[in-house]
Chain A
Amino acid sequence: MDFLQHVKTLAWKDIRVEFRSREIVYTMTFFAGMVVLLFSFAFLRESSAANGGMITDASLSPGFIWVAVLFSGTLGLSRTFDRERETGTMRGLLLSPMPRAAIFLGKAVGIFVMVLVVQAVVLPLVALFFDAPLFDHPLALLCLTLAGTLGFALVGSVFAAMLLKSGSREVLLPVVLYPILVPLFIAAIKGTATMMSGSMSETWFWIRFLLAYDLIFTVAALWTFEHLVIE
């Protein structure tokens, strides 16, 4: 019970700090929107309809959503941990009597919420630009988004925390993070694509896959975090 209280306190702290400046969420969201736009321009084609202008294929949209989330999420990760580093508060957190697992989970929950905010903007944007039927199965979409974002936040927080003291952390974060996130990325994209084409049994398979991924890496992260954060 105490443990969950610690997690809540920390996550709430991060969210409140963010709510006051809104720096990370605004920049992340703008960046994600820009990524979606750039992708739309990259894959423009002429509509086959008589008076149609330029369009982008809806079938490409799952990839764009998750690439945008991955890229902007990485920015958010670096920034949240940089904040702790600049003010020297990470040391304070590590010195506090909280268990380190609680610090880790608190951070991960904070990231999770921020990335969800980005998703809330990116998803309608993609549905608009690509004419993608994303909202036909709201429950599946919600599960996919939650499970995918959770995995990203968990694995991302471990590596971002580890890289806190490293000099070249901005470049190293994507380098270490993306290869590990590939299964999550594939499952999320496949899940979204099957959801759009209406083969729901496959979508639920991918959602279960995402949940398994989340579970496995939560265990791994909780075990390694203790040993990895250097201060």
Chain B
Amino acid sequence: MKKAVPLYIGTAALCMVGFAYTLYQIFYVAPLAQAPLYYNQKIFYYHVPCAFMLFAAVITCGIASIKYLRKREERWDDVAFAAAEVAVMFGLIVLVTGVLWAKPAWDKWWVWDARLTSALLLWMTMLAYMLVRKYGGAGAERLAAGLGIFAMINIPLVYASTRLWKTNHPSANTVPSLDSSMRAALWLSVLLFTFFFILLLRLRIDAQRAERRLYRCREMALDAGLFE
């Protein structure tokens, strides 16, 4: 684990420099959007990557949960838990930036469009996951793993069930039609957020493992009669 520390610092530094560079890319290089969006469109470079990371985190959580239930190895449980936490964070960013963007774009803070609804529900499911982990008592890991799997399966269903509502969210194929410098800034942002996501995930997994080891040490110390 110690060996990984320079790697973590390196990734963190890369993210720091990279995010600073995206600021330049986004505000100076990428052109201003058409009316009525203007500067509001800039939030897009953070909103979309965070949405990708939310989905990546939920899928990571689901796959790790399946592995955990099959193999009963704690390391998979750590991955699932870390991914759920990261998903909650990215979900919050997606929702807040989405609401901020929706007001100038559609003149409403919130509309029940397929993507908004699915993002909100995914976020709620991950919150439920955290609640289960915290208050579920004995066996909460397995219950949470079940929830993680069901949440992953639920993604396409939620999306399909809300898709038939009239949607005014810009569709996925707006990305290729963007100005090339806009596209460059977006994909750079996505790449950096991916690094950031992996870094956060690794750090949380390590913290989780350290906690587990500490707990075991305490148990051993209790067994050896070192504590009262």
Known: A176-B132, A180-B151, A228-B69. A166 touches B140 (CB 8 A): yes
For the complex formed, measure the closest distance between the CB of B75 and the CB atoms of chain A, giving whole angstroms.
17
With the chains together, A227 CA to B138 CA distance in Å? Answer: 15
Taking CB atoms, residues of chain B closer than 8 Å to A176 are: 128, 132, 143, 147
| Size of interface on B: residues with Cβ below 8 Å to A | 30
In this assembly, does A183 line the interface, its C-beta being within 8 Å of a C-beta of chain B? yes
Judging by beta carbons under 8 Å apart, are A183 and B160 in contact? Answer: yes
With the chains together, A60 CA to B69 CA distance in Å? Answer: 42
Taking CB atoms, residues of chain A closer than 8 Å to B140 are: 166
For the complex formed, measure the closest distance between the CB of A221 and the CB atoms of chain B, giving whole angstroms.
9
| Complex partner residue of B146 from A166, A187, A228, CB under 8 angstroms | A228
Taking CB atoms, residues of chain A closer than 8 Å to B70 are: 227
| Complex partner residue of B142 from A180, A213, A216, A230, CB under 8 angstroms | A230
In this assembly, does B17 line the interface, its C-beta being within 8 Å of a C-beta of chain A? no
Judging by beta carbons under 8 Å apart, are A183 and B158 in contact? Answer: yes
Judging by beta carbons under 8 Å apart, are B137 and A166 in contact? Answer: yes
For the complex formed, measure the closest distance between the CB of A177 and the CB atoms of chain B, giving whole angstroms.
9
In this assembly, does A47 line the interface, its C-beta being within 8 Å of a C-beta of chain B? no
Judging by beta carbons under 8 Å apart, are B132 and A182 in contact? Answer: no
In this assembly, does B162 line the interface, its C-beta being within 8 Å of a C-beta of chain A? yes
For the complex formed, measure the closest distance between the CB of B140 and the CB atoms of chain A, giving whole angstroms.
7
Stretch from A75-83, A89-97, A103-111, A157-165 at the B interface: A157-165
In this assembly, does B149 line the interface, its C-beta being within 8 Å of a C-beta of chain A? yes
By secondary structure, the B interface counts as: helix
For the complex formed, measure the closest distance between the CB of A100 and the CB atoms of chain B, giving whole angstroms.
13
Judging by beta carbons under 8 Å apart, are A175 and B142 in contact? Answer: no
In this assembly, does B168 line the interface, its C-beta being within 8 Å of a C-beta of chain A? no
With the chains together, A220 CA to B154 CA distance in Å? Answer: 11
Using an 8 Å CB-CB cutoff, how does the interface string of B177-218 with A read, 1 for contact, 0 for none? 000000000000000000000000000000000000000000
For the complex formed, measure the closest distance between the CB of A42 and the CB atoms of chain B, giving whole angstroms.
20
Using an 8 Å CB-CB cutoff, how does the interface string of B109-141 with A read, 1 for contact, 0 for none? 000000000000100110010011001111110
Judging by beta carbons under 8 Å apart, are A155 and B150 in contact? Answer: yes
For the complex formed, measure the closest distance between the CB of A48 and the CB atoms of chain B, giving whole angstroms.
28
| Complex partner residue of B161 from A163, A165, A172, A183, CB under 8 angstroms | A183
B-side residues, CB < 8 A to A, are: 69-70, 121, 124-125, 128, 131-132, 135-140, 142-143, 145-147, 149-151, 153-154, 157-158, 160-162, 164
A-side residues, CB < 8 A to B, are: 155, 158-159, 162-163, 165-168, 171-172, 175-176, 179-180, 182-183, 186-187, 190, 209, 213, 216-217, 220, 224, 227-228, 230
Of all A-B residue pairs in the complex, the 8 with the closest CB atoms, nearest first, are A183-B157, A179-B125, A183-B161, A230-B139, A227-B69, A186-B161, A167-B137, A162-B143
